[in-house]
Amino acid sequence: MKQNYKFPDSYFTFPSHVTLEHLRDVSKQVADIQTPAYIIDEAVLEENLRILKKVKDETGCKVLLALKAFSLRASFPLISKYLDGACASGVFEARLGREDFKKEVHTFSPAFSDKDIKDVIKYSDTVIFNSFNQLRTYGKMVKKAGKQVGLRINPMLSKSPKLLYSPCVAKSRLGVIAEQFKGEDLSLVDGFHFHALCEQDADSLEEVLKKFEADFAKYLPNLKWVNIGGGHHVTRKDYKLGLLIRLIKNLKSKYKIQVIMEPGEGVVLNAGYFATTVLDIIQNKGNVAIVDASAETHTPDVLGMPYQPCIIDAAKGVEKKNVYRIGGPSCLAGDTFGDYSFDAPIKPGQKLLFTDMALYTFVKNTTFNGIPLPNIGILDKKGKYKVVKKFGYNDFKNKL
CATH classification at residue 244: 3.20.20.10
Q: What is the pLDDT of residue 279?
A: 98
Domain presence at residue 3: no
Measure CA 209 to chain center: 22
Q: Are residues 247 and 282 in the same domain?
A: no
Domain presence at residue 145: yes
Dihedral class, residue 253 (left if φ above 0, else alpha if ψ from -120 to 50, else beta) = alpha
Say if strands 126-129 and 148-152 run parallel, antiparallel, or are unpaired.
Answer: parallel
Domain presence at residue 198: yes
Query: Which residue, 239, 267, 295, sits at the end of a domain?
Result: 267
Query: Which residue, 225, 247, 267, sits at the end of a domain?
Result: 267
Domain presence at residue 72: yes
Q: What is the pLDDT of residue 16?
A: 59
Runs of H (alpha helix) within the chain:
20-29, 42-59, 76-79, 91-96, 114-123, 132-144, 202-216, 241-255, 265-268, 301-304, 393-397
Q: What is the pLDDT of residue 5?
A: 31
Q: Are residues 232 and 303 in the same domain?
A: no
Q: What is the pLDDT of residue 12?
A: 38
Q: Are residues 263 and 364 in the same domain?
A: no
| 170 φ/ψ angles, rounded to the nearest 5 degrees | -60, 140
Q: Are residues 289 and 156 in the same domain?
A: no
Cα-based distances in Å from 58 to 52, 53, 225, 230, 306: 10, 8, 17, 19, 36
Instruction: Return the SS3 of 166.
Output: coil
> Which residues, other chains included, contact 383 with Cβ-Cβ below 8 Å and sequence gap of 6+?
25, 29
> Which residues, other chains included, contact 270 with Cβ-Cβ below 8 Å and sequence gap of 6+?
14, 15, 18, 44, 48, 235, 355, 356, 358
Q: Are residues 30 and 64 in the same domain?
A: no
Distance, in Å, from the CA atom of 113 to the CA atom of 120, rounded to the nearest integer, reads 10
Burial class for 308, CB neighbours closer than 10 Å (0-12, 13-18, 19+): buried
Distance, in Å, from the CA atom of 344 to the CA atom of 173, rounded to the nearest integer, reads 49
Q: Are residues 244 and 329 in the same domain?
A: no
Domain presence at residue 6: no
Query: Which residue, 267, 285, 315, sits at the end of a domain?
Result: 267
Q: Are residues 178 and 323 in the same domain?
A: no
> Which residues, other chains included, contact 339 with Cβ-Cβ below 8 Å and sequence gap of 6+?
316, 317, 318, 323, 324, 325, 326
Name the CA radius of gyration of the chain, rounded. Answer: 22
Q: Are residues 99 and 230 in the same domain?
A: yes
Distance, in Å, from the CA atom of 135 to the CA atom of 92, rounded to the nearest integer, reads 21
Dihedral class, residue 183 (left if φ above 0, else alpha if ψ from -120 to 50, else beta) = left
Q: What is the pLDDT of residue 7?
A: 38
The domain of 185 spans 43-267
Query: Around Cβ 286, how many Cβ atoms within 10 Å?
Result: 11
Beta strand residue intervals within 194-335, DSSP E: 225-227, 258-261, 272-283, 287-291, 315-316, 322-327
Residues of the chain with pLDDT under 70: 1-17
Q: Which amino acid is at 224?
A: K
Q: What is the pLDDT of residue 1?
A: 27
Q: Are residues 313 and 256 in the same domain?
A: no
